């Protein structure tokens, strides 16, 4: 088993080395390769086609951010890449996976977590820290500035409600077209026979009508 550590901090490489040697069951031994910059990592990966895994820091001389993940995947698509980072921002973690990483291990993790994460990836799985999996995804924000509500200090939900109310007010002030002589005026869509209209108290829905009429209430 061969594992490549790519990190520009010698202390991190030295700390990971004895942990990674525990991966191979005895009497086998895990060979741990080390690179302090990205170009050296590419050279080692080229020289060792039987490489099993790359542990990659995101901020390296020669590669910043997700660039290192993409370049490794392009050159060595069969070698899984796991990010080992001092940051654990959920957006950063998901971005690493979106760019091809098969795992994300915070540097604050203990040896048991590191070993479990690497074994999972080597078995064909994907590893995410538990706290990252529990973090909600950020919802996309609406396009700013079109209706002038962004400078009012409202929350997105309050702005949506205000937009809805403003739209209803504009519709209420629209002039109704006069029916031409000899033509029967059609009722508005909301007043069509059988149409259900929505009211805040639910009285316009079938369930609301049943509640107002006392139908379906338990004695």
CATH number at residue 26: 3.40.50.2300
Residue 116 CA to residue 128 CA, distance in Å, equals 11
Contact 4, 54 (CB under 8 A): yes
Asked whether residue 14 is assigned to any structural domain, the reply reads yes
In a structure prediction context, what are the per-residue pLDDT tens digits for the chain, which is 219 residues long? 999 999 999 999 999 999 999 998 888 889 999 999 999 999 999 999 999 999 999 989 888 889 999 999 999 999 999 999 998 888 899 999 999 999 999 999 999 999 999 999 999 999 988 766 665 655 544 444 445 555 555 666 666 666 666 654 445 444 554 545 454 555 444 444 444 444 444 444 444 444 444 444 444
C-alpha 27/C-alpha 70 separation (Å) is 35
Contact 204, 191 (CB under 8 A): no
70 contacts 40 by C-beta, under 8 angstroms: no
**ω into residue 27 within 30 of 0, thus cis?**
yes
Whether this prediction's pTM lies above 0.75 is answered by no
- The tally of domains found in the chain comes to 1
Residue 197 inside a domain? The answer is no
Residue 184 within any structural domain of the chain: no
Residue 19, in any domain of the structure: yes
In angstroms, the CA 87 to CA 40 distance is 23
Position 150 in a domain: no
Which residues sit opposite 3 in a β-bridge? 32, 53
Residue 148's pLDDT is 55
Question: Is 160 part of any domain?
Answer: no
Cα four-point dihedral sign 148, 152, 156, 157 = negative
For residue 192, being part of any structural domain is answered with no
**Is position 217 within any domain?**
no
Contact 197, 204 (CB under 8 A): yes
Domain of residue 20 covers 2-134
pLDDT the model gives residue 206: 46
- Asked if 94 contacts 59 with a C-beta cutoff of 8 angstroms, the reply is no
């Amino acid at each position: 088993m061969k594992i490549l550590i790519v990190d520009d901090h010698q202390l991190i490489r030295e700390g990971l080395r004895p942990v990674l040697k525990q991966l191979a069951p005895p009497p086998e031994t895990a060979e741990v390769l080390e690179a302090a910059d990205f170009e050296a990592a590419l050279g080692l990966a080229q020289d060792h086609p039987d490489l099993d895994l790359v542990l990659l820091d995101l901020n390296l001389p020669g590669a910043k951010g997700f660039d290192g993940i993409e370049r490794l995947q392009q050159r060595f698509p069969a070698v899984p890449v796991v990010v080992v980072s001092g940051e654990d921002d959920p957006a950063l973690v998901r971005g690493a996976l979106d760019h091809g990483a098969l795992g994300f291990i915070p540097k604050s993790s203990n040896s048991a977590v590191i070993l479990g994460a690497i074994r999972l990836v080597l078995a064909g799985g994907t590893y995410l820290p538990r706290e990252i999996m529990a973090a909600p995804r950020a919802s996309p924000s609406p396009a700013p500035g079109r209706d002038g509500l962004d400078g009012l200090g409202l929350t997105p939900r309050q702005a949506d409600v205000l937009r809805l109310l403003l739209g209803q007010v504009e519709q209420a002030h629209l002039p109704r077209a006069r029916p031409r002589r000899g033509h029967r005026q059609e009722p508005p869509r909301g007043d069509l026979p059988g149409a259900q209209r929505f009211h805040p108290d639910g009285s316009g829905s079938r369930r609301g009508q049943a509640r107002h009429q006392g139908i379906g209430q338990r004695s």
